[in-house]
């Protein structure tokens, strides 16, 4: 997640690798990306390909999704782990930090 001029954006990936958000900040939203081209320096850029990776405003995420799956893949292991939070009131927000090792 990044905060851009008081707007929180999430970078998400559809696990099927295709189909993505098509609203504000989507890959197709050239007007918003064009007006915020300075974000490229921060690595906040659209992928512009149908890879399932996309940016989405936090407010829209909370509006359209009722739960989240977080998956961890270990290349040395044959397992993928998935964690799912229980449904929570819409006004709830979560904060977590993922660090590279």
Task: Summarize pLDDT for 40-53 with one digit per residue, the tens.
Answer: 888 888 888 888 88
Q: Note whether residue 56 is domain-resident.
A: yes
CA nearest neighbour of 15 among 71, 61, 95? 71
Question: Residue 85: its pLDDT value, please?
Answer: 47
Q: In terms of residue numbers, what domain contains 20?
A: 2-66
Distance separating alpha carbons of residues 92 and 97, to the nearest angstrom: 17
Total domains present in the chain: 1
Identify the CATH number of the domain in which residue 43 sits.
3.90.70.10
pLDDT at 56: 92
Task: Supply the pTM of this predicted model.
Answer: 0.65
Confidence of residue 87 (pLDDT cuts 50, 70, 90): low
Query: Are the CB atoms for 36 and 4 separated by under 8 Å?
Result: yes
Distance between CA 45 and CA 55 in Å, rounded? Answer: 8
CB atoms closer than 10 angstroms to residue 33: 19
pLDDT higher than 70, residue 92: no
Residue 81 falls inside a structural domain: no
């Amino acid at each position: 997640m990044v905060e851009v001029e008081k707007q929180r954006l999430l970078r998400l990936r559809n696990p099927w690798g295709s189909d993505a958000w098509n609203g504000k900040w989507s890959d197709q939203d050239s007007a918003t990306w064009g007006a915020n081209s300075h974000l490229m320096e921060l690595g906040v850029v659209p992928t512009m390909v149908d890879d399932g990776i996309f940016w989405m405003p936090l407010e829209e995420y909370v509006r359209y999704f009722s739960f989240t799956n977080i998956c961890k893949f270990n290349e040395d292991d044959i397992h993928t782990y998935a964690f799912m939070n229980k449904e929570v009131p819409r006004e709830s927000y979560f904060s977590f930090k993922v660090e590279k090792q």
